[in-house]
Amino acid sequence: MANGQPTSLPPYILKFNTSTLKMRDNDTLEDTVIVRAGVPFDLYLSFSGTGIIWDWAQYLHAPYKVSYFAEGHGGELDTEEKKLGIREANLSYPHPGEYTDAETKIAAVINKPGIYELSAMVTFPGGRGVTGFVSGLMIEVYE
């Protein structure tokens, strides 16, 4: 599930959208949802915007922060919540299309085997009211 805010402004003023959350095992080039415990994997999301405010923010190289989280599911993992990492960078101008992979990627590690739901949040520290969320990526961590 992906959400972006604000949603009440006309798109020519500002539209912000988060679209995908993906994981890539460092041993393969393909997206995966199964990784070995303690082995780093790449985690990234895609986000984009349109409108006058978005163009202005890109022109000013506004800072953004992407935060990644994991929540355990099942048995003792129900209390397992983990901050996987943060990626901070700046918007760029001109920038066609989505910000993804190279602009949002982190290396993450989960040490405890089990099933986890991954999520991410994009914020703009210099500008309140623009936030994006992505959740729902389920992964298995095995020994």
Q: Domains, the chain, ranges and CATH?
A: 2-142 (2.60.40.10)
Mean pLDDT of the chain: 87
Q: List phi, psi (to 5°) of 75.
A: 55, -135
Per the rule left: phi > 0, alpha: psi between -120 and 50, beta: everything else, 129 is left
**Strand pairing report for 114-123 and 131-142:** antiparallel
Query: Which residues, given as ranges, of the chain have pLDDT below 50?
Result: none
pLDDT tens, position by position, 96-122? 788 988 889 999 999 989 999 999 999
pLDDT tens, position by position, 71-80? 998 777 667 7
